């Protein structure tokens, strides 16, 4: 077990140090942290738009959430692991970061920090962005997802449930409909039915 740990540290020590540095800068200077994260992501992923989303959208959202809730930085220690595994280009981390971003925006709307209209627009823009640059859908399919979720998110706002129930429902709704590419499957079903 110790031998495997030594091998893992040997193989990952550089990314681990970079992740911890980004995490340490996170509480001191969010701009430096996000810029550092962006440059390293761009180097490892080679995609400007993916790197931009993960660094300049995700990190500032988590930073704002930390400040609004006045939580200790130590409670955000899992952030260092999220950063670490995102640098290793693990696909499911993209989904995790995307869903955390959506939940953060939902929570800001619940706190009354942003208006309902702004919440709906920014959430739909994020969904279009993710569909376009992470799922590699074309613009029309991404726009269709954005419009579908604009309507669904508006309805979710008025469900007679508690905030956490609505949050879980939102995560499941976004994940299932996007993850299983319902538009592509629907188009495939229609083309086979003729």
pLDDT at 85: 86
What's the 3-state SS for 29-64?
CHHHHHHHHHHHHHHHHCCHHHHHHHHHHHHHHHHH
Residue 194: band (very low, low, confident or very high) from pLDDT cuts 50, 70, 90: very low
Give the mean model confidence (pLDDT) for residues 125-151: 91
For residue 60, is pLDDT > 90? yes
Instruction: Determine phi and psi for 142, rounding to 5 degrees.
Output: -60, -40
pLDDT tens, 159-176?
A: 888 888 988 898 888 888
| Domain ranges across the chain | 1-89, 90-182
pLDDT at 191: 44
Share of the chain above pLDDT 70, in %: 88
d(CA 44, CA 34): 15
Whole-number average pLDDT of the chain: 85
Give the mean model confidence (pLDDT) for residues 4-25: 80
- 183: which residues sit within 8 A by CB, 6+ positions away? 141, 144, 145
The most distant pair of C-alpha atoms in the chain lies apart, rounded to whole Å, by: 60
pLDDT at 5: 64
Compute the residue count for the chain.
194
pLDDT at 73: 81
pLDDT at 1: 63
Residue 61: band (very low, low, confident or very high) from pLDDT cuts 50, 70, 90: very high
Instruction: Tell if the pTM clears 0.75, that is, is over it.
Output: yes
pLDDT tens, 106-134?
A: 989 888 888 889 999 999 999 999 999 99
Give the mean model confidence (pLDDT) for residues 82-108: 88
Lowest mean pLDDT among 5-14, 79-88, 130-139: 5-14
- 184: which residues sit within 8 A by CB, 6+ positions away? 137, 141
Nearest CA to 76 out of 136, 27, 141 is that of 27
């Amino acid at each position: 077990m110790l031998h495997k740990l030594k091998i893992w540290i040997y193989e990952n020590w550089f990314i681990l140090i970079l992740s911890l540095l980004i995490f340490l800068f996170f509480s001191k200077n969010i701009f430096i942290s996000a810029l550092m994260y962006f440059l390293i992501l761009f180097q490892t992923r080679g995609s400007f738009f993916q790197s931009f989303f993960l660094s300049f959208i995700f990190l500032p959202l988590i930073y704002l959430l930390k400040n609004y809730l006045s939580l200790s930085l130590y409670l955000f220690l899992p952030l260092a692991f999220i950063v670490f595994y995102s640098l290793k280009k693990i696909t499911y981390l993209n989904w995790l970061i995307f869903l955390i971003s959506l939940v953060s925006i939902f929570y800001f709307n619940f706190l009354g920090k942003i208006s309902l209209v702004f919440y709906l627009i920014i959430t739909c823009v994020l969904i279009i962005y993710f569909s376009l640059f992470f799922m590699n859908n074309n613009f029309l399919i991404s726009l269709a997802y954005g419009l579908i979720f604009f309507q669904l998110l508006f309805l979710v706002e008025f469900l007679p449930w508690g905030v956490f129930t609505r949050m879980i429902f939102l995560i499941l709704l976004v994940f299932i409909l996007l993850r299983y590419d319902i538009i592509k499957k629907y188009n495939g079903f229609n083309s086979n039915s003729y």
